[in-house]
Amino acid sequence: MTMKNKIYLTLGGKGGVGKSIAISLIADYLVKNEIPFLAFDCDNENSGKAAAFSTGYKDAQQINLRSVRDCDRLLTAAAESEITLADLPANASGDFMGWWSSVATPETLEALNLEVIGIGAITPEAGSFASVSQWAEELQAKLKYITALNHRSQQRVEISKEELFPEYFNTPTGEAFRKLFGPQEFEIPGLYEGSMLALAKSGQLPSAAADNPAIPILDRSRIRTWKAKVHAQLLPVL
């Protein structure tokens, strides 16, 4: 059986939940393990900012989701690469869903030999899972799903993930999502805010920032430990 090429898309309408962090950590893992991939930054509102995917990964190409030609280029390019990463902006559903439903039929994806995986980032804050759930209601089983459980600055180790992310683990909506789609999961541990700010300001992926002498040594140590914990989870997920 021929292995399908894969495109990973960040999902969700809520900003600030860690979509760009999640996909940057995946890009960092691929770079560190010398696994080739294509990358697209579709978040034009975030373009040029420290948090933008293309800031940390300079080879990410820019895509305008309001351009049908650009959206088509995203899909056709993904069909020619074993792995493609695409960071979608918050509130992208209006621009993305219409185009997606018009071209990304199961028959077309099969003809392109393409598997689509949606990355839904959620935080402990109320409401962060709702937008991922809404996207899943629209996209259904056309995608496979990965949930990135973003602890943000929460560094308590004695609390379980079920307690930390109650909307995802302990509500009927979350239980239905997990039962229906069987998402893979990985956790993004809490990182001291000062270290996260140093990482963002560096304009680098985490592994490069961890070796950057311009960043204070204790922040580098925290970044190195933090990204290593994520990397250790990604092989079975990807």
Chain segment 1-42, per-residue pLDDT in tens:
578 999 999 987 678 899 999 999 999 999 999 999 999 999
CATH of the domain at 118: 3.40.50.300
Q: Is residue 198 part of a domain?
A: no
pLDDT at 70: 93
Q: Is residue 16 part of a domain?
A: yes
Residue percentage of the chain with pLDDT more than 90: 72
Q: Is residue 45 part of a domain?
A: yes
pLDDT at 194: 94
The number of angstroms, rounded, from the C-alpha of 59 to the middle of its chain's C-alpha atoms is: 17
Average pLDDT of the chain is 91
Q: Is residue 72 part of a domain?
A: yes
Q: Could you tell me which residues come within 8 angstroms of residue 77 by beta carbon, excluding any fewer than 6 positions away?
A: 38, 40, 84
**Domain count of the fold of the chain:** 1
Chain segment 40-90, per-residue pLDDT in tens:
999 766 655 676 899 999 999 999 988 999 999 999 999 999 999 999 988
The least confident of 91-100, 122-131, 151-160 is: 151-160
- Structure pTM? 0.94
Q: Is residue 222 part of a domain?
A: no
Domain of residue 82 covers 5-192
